[in-house]
Amino acid sequence: MSNYPWAPDDVLTAAALNAAIAGVPATTASTVSNWLVAQRNPPTTLTDGATITPDFSAANNFTVTLGGARTLANPTNRASGQAGQIVVVQDGTGSRTLTYGSAWKFPAGTAPTLSTAAGAVDILSYYCWDGTNIAISAALNFS
């Protein structure tokens, strides 16, 4: 038995969803949402620069093409329990490096060495375990 006016496997249109929540007072809204089904959205592109600062309130998944030696700064708007991926792509030159802000915590305390070939793709997976510290691991050299 569901407390919702739709079945768990229903696909809702925007109009149906808006109709279902029309009577919900704005004061019950939260900046953090709990979803009943998987949510999908394209990754948010991070702006390349000497310091790259993700805004974790903007998305869970990100992509960035490195154009030089960069620092992945501590993200803004971290929330305990947030998880996602950051796709890191080497530009056409390659051999770009990435250092990390103090909130990023790697297994055994050692950050990975990214793939260096031009166009190389690495994926950093992260999990904010307490709203401050971010566990991060790397899957390297997708081709």
- Domain annotation covers residue 33: no
What is the rounded average pLDDT of the residues 53-69? Answer: 97
Asked if the model's pLDDT at residue 30 lies above 60, the reply is no
Range of the domain at 46: 41-142
- Domain annotation covers residue 6: no
- Domain annotation covers residue 31: no
Average pLDDT over the chain, rounded to whole?
Answer: 87
| Interval 103-129: pLDDT, tens | 999 999 999 999 999 999 999 999 999
Q: What is the DSSP letter of 29?
A: -
**The pLDDT value given to residue 7:** 67
Percent of the chain at pLDDT exceeding 90: 69
Asked if the model's pLDDT at residue 34 lies above 80, the reply is no
Domain count, the chain: 1
All residues at 6 or more sequence positions from 83 whose CB lies less than 8 Å from its CB, including other chains: 60, 125, 126, 127, 128
- Domain annotation covers residue 115: yes
Asked if the model's pLDDT at residue 4 lies above 80, the reply is no
- Domain annotation covers residue 14: no
What is the rounded average pLDDT of the residues 51-66? Answer: 96
- Domain annotation covers residue 17: no
More confident residue, 75 or 38: 75
Structure tokens at 116: 């260096």
Asked if the model's pLDDT at residue 2 lies above 60, the reply is no
- Domain annotation covers residue 105: yes
Compute the Cα dihedral for 81, 112, 118, 120 and give only its sign: negative
- Domain annotation covers residue 28: no
How many angstroms separate the first and last alpha carbons of the chain?
Answer: 46
19 vs 25: CA distance, rounded Å: 13
Compute the Cα dihedral for 62, 67, 72, 75 and give only its sign: negative
